Amino acid sequence: MPPLVLATVDDVRAALQDPGLDEAEARAAIDRVTDRIAGLLPPGVLDFVEHDTIELRGGGSRELRLPGPVFVDDDHPITVQEIGWGGLPYGVSPDNGWFRRGDVLMRSSMAGSSSWGAGWSGLPFWGERVLVTYSHGYREVPAGLKGVLLDAVQSIMINPQGLRSETVGQMTSVWAIESVGSGAASTTALKAALRDLGLLQSGAFSIVPGPG
């Protein structure tokens, strides 16, 4: 699927109450903020990626956090394989090996009751290497994200250089503090807004190309 369109030129015109706003300038501001947001978010959040395979390090933990958001339905299941001694993969069944809470895969406390169904270790902990195939990202713009982008775009359109004041001839323009330093478009402000929306989380992972 193509990347999400977070906002349109008409959205910016409505936010600024300026129906005659230059389309090229508005589009450039949208693209600038979209690129900045995409650079702050984990890969794949602004794209819907189907049947992606990633490798996570279990390290004896009972929890594995998937780079989210996780999307699951009948056509988009999650499959899990642990890599055992000699690099051999073992499937882990959700019936007796793990269960999911949101973006977290929890190792079942009953995993040790089933030998191979519990994975290569036979213990209620994830192995060192775990391959997970799943679908992730958003099919629709998350609630609140459009507003974050529009706030940032407005800051750029109103005060593109992020100045506190500017003097031209005998006239001095002074901007409100929220538009200084690019305001809502600054990296600090965007990070805070994305965290408030629950879209920004820490964690490193490596990606293995998925099928298709």
- Predicted TM-score (pTM) of the model is 0.62
Q: Please give the pLDDT value at position 176.
A: 44
pLDDT at position 141 is 87
| Residues 61 and 130 placed together within one structural domain of the fold | yes
Q: Degrees (nearest 5) of the Cα angle 100, 92, 62?
A: 50
Whether residue 122 sits in one domain with residue 62: yes
pLDDT computed for residue 93 by the predictor: 66
Query: What is the pLDDT, as a whole number, of residue 76?
Result: 93
Q: Examine the domain organization and report whether 58 and 121 are in the same domain.
A: yes
- Does a structural domain hold residue 108? yes
Rounded to whole angstroms, the Cα distance separating 129 from 140 reads 32
pLDDT, averaged per 10 consecutive residues of the chain (212 residues), comes to 83 92 92 90 81 87 86 91 74 72 81 44 74 89 89 80 47 43 71 87 44 40
Residues 107 and 186 in one domain: no
Bridging pattern class, strands 79-83 and 129-136? antiparallel
Same domain? 125 vs 62:
yes
Domain assignment present for 70: yes
Could you list the residue range(s) of the whole structural domain that residue 132 is in?
Answer: 49-136
Q: How many CB atoms lie within 10 A of CB 186?
A: 16
Domain final residue pick, 116, 136, 156 = 136
Q: What is the DSSP letter of 89?
A: E
According to DSSP, the residues that pair with 208 across neighbouring strands are 53
| Residues in Cβ contact with 21 at an 8 Å cutoff, skipping those fewer than 6 apart | 9, 12, 13, 157
159: in domain: yes
